[in-house]
């Protein structure tokens, strides 16, 4: 049940979608009647379909933080939406008009526990950036902290945003629950998508988590001389305030001058994050990189980090190498190892589809293989054939789809395959080194010791139980409760059938006996028996025809 505040917000959200022409979608899931809104006039098909993707983007932008993030998340899921929607949602702008400084000042001073003048020598009240969650200001600290010299950037969460996001998450959680009971839930994991959105939003609202992500990313990029992450002022890191090194430069979205060394380091840096570290920054958009006059590329956005398991790291490396070798069968096998198959999955059809996709690129030069596009198409094929790929692999596909064109624009002659092959050897060496580490060997020895102790003991217990005729075997039947309900239903119907037949036979015998009151020349008890038998018979037939228990 939604709280009154959440219900009021939900009605506003639904009214916004109706105003942008998505009344039919809400009605198809019975969401309008759920919140007490009546459908308006039906639109003509051409009118409904005109620029629907653009209207969806505008509606999400109008609804604010939570729905902007939802749209951005959906833009990473080509397996859920048509390409036109994915492309349009990729244009979602998280830049909004700034709020007044007075409200931001209150949040800043409350989080720091001191007036602005005590912490900052100078603080520009005009923000240099304003997004739906936070605003960024330029300032200068009063004293030297954390190795940060000169100006700093101060990121402050807007007042009221965490509370509104909490309401929106309650609404989306309830909507996901309702959608999970629809027919589409067999193919789409609505609750999993909502859980991913909730994790993303809560992480972005907690700027301490963003500070942790920045430190982790800086450690990962330490070996690359052309890449850097701004330093964080740890002493001033709060849940709603983040102070970091101020960096000047031009965004890559504004200029694409050739920078071959930066392109090579950027590609290798992401391969390292994905295949070695197991944690990667999910949004390598040109607007999230700043190129300064010295030729250093600064990563600006580290709010969203995805994690990938060691097993999937090896599978992903194998998948990329299978694409290089145009080995469709191996690519399909590795996809199945990473995903989960559903009821409609047919393995020969899936393998044939993946092989056909990979075969399209036979003859294409290795350096020209579009890995991002191929990964996107494989994800689409997986969904179409009822294979659920883990969310982090979907994010990885979107990451490669953005990263590869960016690197190729920085260096048109880049050869990503050559770099990837060299990284495959490094990956295997790193995996072997981890497996042979002292910690892993110690854990293995402890497991072997436990195994060596437990096996003889378990064997003695088993032999003793068999000798004393005390051995019991338990069988667990999948969906046993459903089976019990089905058996009970069959037994009930048989019982009703037997009772009905007995009533008919008994009433027939009563017709030949002259006993009891008579109506229209027939014994009353015989007539009652026939009527009851007829009622039971009609009930049983109705239950069978409607398929009810």
Length of the chain: 549
Chain segment 400-428, per-residue pLDDT in tens:
888 888 888 888 888 888 888 777 777 77
Q: Is the pLDDT of residue 329 over 70?
A: yes
**pLDDT at 520 (0 to 100):** 64
Distances (CA, A) of 193 to 15, 178, 200, 361, 366: 23, 13, 11, 32, 35
Contact 2, 174 (CB under 8 A): yes
d(CA 416, CA 368): 9
d(CA 55, CA 400): 27
**pLDDT at 25 (0 to 100):** 76
Chain segment 277-291, per-residue pLDDT in tens:
888 888 888 878 888
Q: Is the pLDDT of residue 352 over 90?
A: yes
Closest C-alpha to 94, from 348, 381, 304, 358? 304
Q: Average pLDDT in the 28-50 region?
A: 56
Q: Is the pLDDT of residue 37 over 70?
A: no
Distances (CA, A) of 374 to 167, 369, 401: 38, 8, 9
d(CA 506, CA 529): 8
Closest C-alpha to 2, from 232, 194, 167? 167
**pLDDT at 126 (0 to 100):** 92
Average pLDDT, the chain: 81
**pLDDT at 474 (0 to 100):** 62
**pLDDT at 439 (0 to 100):** 67
**pLDDT at 50 (0 to 100):** 47
Query: Is 219 or 388 the better-scoring residue by pLDDT?
Result: 219
Please state the three-class secondary structure of 47-97 as a single string.
HHHCCHHHHHHHHHHHHCHHHHHHHHHHCCCCCCCCHHHHHHHCCCCCECC
**pLDDT at 49 (0 to 100):** 46
Q: Average pLDDT in the 211-226 region?
A: 90
Q: Following CA atoms 251, 257, 263, 266 in sequence, which dihedral angle do they give, to the nearest 10 degrees? A: -10
d(CA 240, CA 138): 16
Catalytic residue among 79, 168, 283, 411: 283
Geometric angle at alpha carbon 329, from 324 and 333, rounded to 5° = 100
Contact 230, 298 (CB under 8 A): yes
d(CA 69, CA 210): 16
**Does the annotation count 24 as an active-site position?**
no
């Amino acid at each position: 049940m939604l709280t009154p505040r959440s219900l009021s917000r939900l009605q506003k959200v639904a009214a916004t979608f109706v105003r942008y022409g998505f009344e039919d979608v809400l009605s198809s899931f019975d969401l309008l009647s759920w919140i007490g809104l009546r459908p308006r006039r039906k639109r003509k098909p051409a009118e409904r379909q005109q620029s629907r993707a653009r209207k969806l983007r505008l509606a999400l932008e109008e609804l604010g933080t939570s729905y902007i993030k939802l749209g951005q998340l959906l833009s990473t899921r080509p397996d859920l939406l048509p390409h036109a929607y994915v492309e349009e949602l990729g244009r979602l702008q998280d830049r909004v008009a700034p709020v007044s400084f007075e409200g931001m000042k209150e949040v800043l001073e409350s989080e720091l526990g001191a007036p602005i003048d005590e912490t900052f020598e100078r603080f520009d009240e005009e923000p240099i950036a304003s997004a739906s969650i936070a605003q960024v200001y330029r300032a200068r600290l009063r004293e030297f902290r954390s190795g940060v010299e000169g100006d700093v950037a101060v990121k402050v969460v807007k007042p009221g945003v965490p509370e509104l996001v909490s309401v929106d998450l309650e609404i989306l959680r309830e909507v996901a629950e309702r959608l999970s009971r629809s027919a589409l839930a067999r193919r789409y994991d609505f609750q999993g998508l909502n859980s991913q959105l909730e994790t993303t939003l809560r992480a972005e609202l907690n700027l301490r988590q963003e500070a942790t992500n920045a430190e982790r990313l800086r450690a990962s990029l330490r070996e690359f001389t052309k890449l850097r992450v701004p330093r964080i002022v740890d002493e001033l890191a709060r849940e709603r305030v983040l102070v970091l090194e101020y960096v000047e430069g031009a965004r890559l979205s504004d200029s694409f001058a050739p920078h071959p060394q930066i392109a090579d380091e950027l590609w290798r840096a992401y391969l390292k994050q994905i295949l070695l570290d197991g944690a990667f920054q999910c949004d390598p958009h040109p607007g999230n990189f700043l190129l300064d006059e010295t030729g250093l590329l600064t990563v600006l956005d580290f709010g969203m980090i995805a994690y990938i398991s060691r097993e999937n790291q090896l599978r992903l490396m194998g998948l990329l190498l299978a694409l290089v070798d145009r080995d469709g069968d191996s690519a399909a096998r590795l996809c199945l190892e990473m995903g989960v198959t559903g009821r409609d999955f047919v393995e020969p059809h899936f393998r044939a589809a993946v092989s056909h996709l990979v075969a399209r690129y036979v003859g294409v030069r290795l350096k020209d293989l579009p890995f991002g596009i191929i990964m996107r198409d494989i994800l689409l094929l997986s969904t179409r054939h009822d294979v659920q790929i883990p969310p982090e692999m979907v994010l990885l596909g979107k990451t490669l789809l953005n990263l590869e064109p960016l690197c190729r624009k920085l260096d048109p002659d880049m050869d990503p395959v050559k770099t990837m092959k060299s990284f495959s050897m490094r990956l295997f060496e790193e995996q072997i080194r981890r497996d042979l580490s002292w910690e892993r060997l110690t854990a293995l020895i402890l497991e072997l010791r436990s195994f060596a102790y437990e096996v003889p003991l378990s064997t003695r217990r088993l032999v003793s139980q068999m000798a004393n005729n005390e051995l019991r075997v338990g069988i667990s039947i999948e969906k046993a409760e459903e089976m019990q309900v089905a058996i009970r239903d069959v037994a009930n119907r048989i019982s009703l059938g037997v009772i009905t037949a007995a009533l008919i036979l008994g009433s027939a015998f009563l017709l030949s006996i002259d006993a009891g009151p008579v109506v229209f020349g027939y014994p009353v008890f015989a007539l009652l028996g026939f009527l009851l038998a007829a009622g039971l018979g009609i009930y049983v037939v109705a239950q069978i025809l409607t398929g009810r228990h």
